[in-house]
Amino acid sequence: MFSRMLAERGWRSPVAIGAVLGRWHEIVGAEIGAHCVPESFDADTVLVRCDSTAWATQLRLITPQVLQRFEAELGVGVVKKLSVIGPAAPSWRKGGRSVRGRGPRDTYG
């Protein structure tokens, strides 16, 4: 009855987003959940940011198993793809007045 009401009102996607983001640790496990965090959920793709490139690689390797777990927990077709990215790179921009482009490094040859 509840799933029928969600389908009739077009709420299936918002509920799926809440399920993916709210139950992330439960679905992927505590170890992966401690190092990889879902940033967004668009259509059927979850964007996940990991705190190191090693964890990003590990999550990419086990993506098929994670997708099977999503299917078992949330239903078929809710999450079809996992997009895994590593940590954000540090900014080399320093100060309020910086040069656009390569700056002083463009004279090396």
pTM exceeds 0.75: no
**Sign of torsion over alpha carbons 11, 42, 67, 81:** positive
Map tokens 């993916």 to a residue: 20
Could you list the pLDDT tens digit for every one of the 109 residues in the chain?
545 544 554 545 555 666 667 788 888 888 998 999 998 878 788 899 999 999 999 999 999 999 998 888 777 887 889 999 988 877 666 666 766 666 556 555 5
